[in-house]
Structure 1
Amino acid sequence: MQTFFLRLSLSITMLFALTACFEPETPQEAAAAFWSAVERNDAGGAVRYSTLEDEAAFDAFGHSWQGAEATVEKVLIEGRAAQIVSRITAPEGSDLPATVTTYLVQRDETWLVDYARTAEGMRGNALTALFAELTKITQDLAGRLNSASGDLQRQLETMRGQMDAYADTLNRQMSESIGRYGSVLRERIDELAASARDALDANGEQLTPQEQQTLDDVAGEMERQSDTLSEPDADNVTEGTEKALAAQQKLLMLDEETLERYQRQWIEWRDRFEQEAKAFFDALNAELRKQKE
């Protein structure tokens, strides 16, 4: 791989020629330099271009990035914070996420990758991807049972009753699990919406118009998601999980001093949300493995 952020405004080759004398001046340049260091497993470079302070803390987000390529899909710059969303093309068999959001902050006029927040975003993507994969497995199982034909169907006739019973049991357990998780998810989404509304009402005059708009957008999006979860199913639960995590990440990018109390709330919300979502996915995955044995 020549460069991780191949499609950014500067190639990595050009970037390093420039950064031999100058620091990256834009979020895109900082992200390019950082991810190039990550791809090379260069802890020193990762520290230089991120908020990490100790090379020993560098873990490459728990992945090997060698051979991966990224296409930048979206760049969002809000004052002294920025997000760069990239789609990842990984080598076959890789466990890399399909998309990565790189979070950056500006400190003393220097753009740095926010290592902890970028890692948090990857955990959120992993949860959503896991649920989507489990849902696909279940749908594929049911589809194979319903599409058997010809010689295969005749061979399976003596087993059809058992297989149909298996599919019914699996789908019923999935529905029950989705229903329970959907109710919890809706509660958490309602909490996040209420917190965003309260933060806007209490601190609106101290925030920039853009920050006010972010709070209003997050609250509105979460309220709409809550409505869709009145009858939980695989699709709206997956979407709700993904959008709730994305909304929480947007909130954490807001002014830390003005919204200090709410920032603590949103971090606590994230920790509780991730624990509940992980428990649901783990239980569902265990049931799938049990049924397949």
Structure 2
Amino acid sequence: MKLYHLVAPTTFLLAFTLTGCGGPETPQEVTQAFWEAVLESDAETAAELSTLVDESGFDGYSLDWEGAETSWGRVTVDGQEASIDTVFTNMPGMNGEELETTTHLVRINDQWQVDYHQTGDEIGTDVRIGGLMGSVRELGDKLRSRLADESAKANREFDRLVDELSAYSDETREEMTALIERYGENLERRMDELSRSLDDALEQNPSASEEERNTLEEAQKDLKQQQEALDRNEPDSIAEVSKELARIQEQLSELSDQSFGHLKEQLQRWSRELNRELEQLNQEARMQEQHSI
């Protein structure tokens, strides 16, 4: 990997002072600021620069970053997503070896944010990290648990939004209802994707155990019920469907990696994207709330 160092931190901060910017904007700037926060255990800043719902979800990926240094390589931007090759040196427990990984970002409300969970998944693919954490599986379980926790927090925020709709002015209520309906359309698309994935998984695994087939068939049944509920196109039904989809995804995560590894990878990606869309809805709703005050 050919590396290129980003601007030194002091120069980085000075650039913002001189240009009058309120914070990092480009994928490179957000990535550098995010990792500076991680290395300094600054949970608040790391959460602000990432897809974490709030700072309580920050754990520094359960790694010791004391004394670690970062350098950067290729930057790839593809629409609303970006990735940056990231290398850490002087990490405790690595015996002088480098940790080469990728920082993933997503653009939400015209702002680049580090995809906290996808970046953590990427770190977890390094077998040496498994040695520091106990096992790669253990790290993967922690990341899945964290993602589920973030989903629960985002859904609680969504519930609050729906509960308080009637308290807003007619104009604000119409704007927020439009946001919710757009999210409902995204939910419908995600549900169609999941339904096709479940059909494929059943067809491609005829030798799956009876328990696993029952899990898949039960998920299909639940999914159909949620699709029917979504047809009502009401804010409270959309909120309830969002929570039920998170539950279905968690249920499917219990399938074996050996038979359903590809499906579980799809589910992880699907869940991350759904979380992004829900967090984007929450952020846009909070902006509408502020403007209505």
Q: Which has the higher contact order (CA 8 A, sep 6+)?
A: 2
C-alpha displacement at 1:114, in angstroms?
3.2
Give SS of 2:259's match: coil
- Distance in 2, matches of 1:53 and 1:172, equals 40
The 5 A counterparts of 1:230-269 are 230-269=231-270
Q: CA RMSD in A?
A: 2.6
Aligned CA distance change for structure 1 residues 53 and 231 (closer, same or farther; 3 Å): closer
Equivalent in the alignment of 1:197: 199
Equivalent in the alignment of 1:288: 289
C-alpha displacement at 1:265, in angstroms?
1.3
Aligned CA distance change for structure 1 residues 177 and 259 (closer, same or farther; 3 Å): same
Q: Is the 8 A contact 2:155 2:239 kept in 1?
A: yes
Which aligned segments of 4 or more residues in structure 1 are displaced greater than 4 angstroms? 52-55
Deviations 1:101-136 (A, max 9, x none): xxxxxx99xx99932222111011011101011122
Give SS of 2:189's match: helix
What is the TM-score when the length of structure 2 is the normalising length? 0.51
- Distance in 2, matches of 1:233 and 1:178, equals 9
Q: Is the 8 A contact 2:183 2:281 kept in 1?
A: yes
Q: Is the 8 A contact 1:194 1:219 kept in 2?
A: no
Give SS of 2:275's match: helix
C-alpha displacement at 1:137, in angstroms?
2.5
Q: Percent identity at matched positions? A: 21
The 5 A counterparts of 1:101-140 are 114-139=141-166
Q: Which amino acid aligns with 2:250?
A: Q
- Distance in 2, matches of 1:54 and 1:284, equals 32
Larger Rg: 1
C-alpha displacement at 1:54, in angstroms?
5.7
Q: Does 1:181 align with 2:209?
A: no
Q: Is the 8 A contact 1:228 1:236 kept in 2?
A: yes
Q: Which amino acid aligns with 2:64?
A: A
1:56 maps to which of 52, 57, 64: 64
Aligned CA distance change for structure 1 residues 186 and 113 (closer, same or farther; 3 Å): closer
Equivalent in the alignment of 1:209: 210
C-alpha displacement at 1:196, in angstroms?
1.4
- Distance in 1, matches of 2:258 and 2:214, equals 18
Q: Is the 8 A contact 1:132 1:238 kept in 2?
A: yes
Q: Is the 8 A contact 2:162 2:239 kept in 1?
A: no
C-alpha displacement at 1:193, in angstroms?
1.9
List alignment gaps of at least 5 residues for structure 1.
Answer: 1-51, 58-106, 143-166
Q: Does 1:223 align with 2:231?
A: no
Q: Which amino acid aligns with 2:185?
A: S
Q: Which amino acid aligns with 1:125?
A: A
- Distance in 2, matches of 1:262 and 1:113, equals 16
Q: Is the 8 A contact 1:178 1:232 kept in 2?
A: no
Aligned CA distance change for structure 1 residues 261 and 230 (closer, same or farther; 3 Å): same
Aligned CA distance change for structure 1 residues 264 and 114 (closer, same or farther; 3 Å): closer
C-alpha displacement at 1:195, in angstroms?
1.0
- Distance in 1, matches of 2:270 and 2:247, equals 13
Aligned CA distance change for structure 1 residues 53 and 242 (closer, same or farther; 3 Å): closer
Q: Is the 8 A contact 2:155 2:243 kept in 1?
A: yes
Give SS of 1:260's match: helix
Q: Is the 8 A contact 1:215 1:251 kept in 2?
A: yes
Give SS of 1:245's match: helix
Q: Is the 8 A contact 1:225 1:240 kept in 2?
A: yes
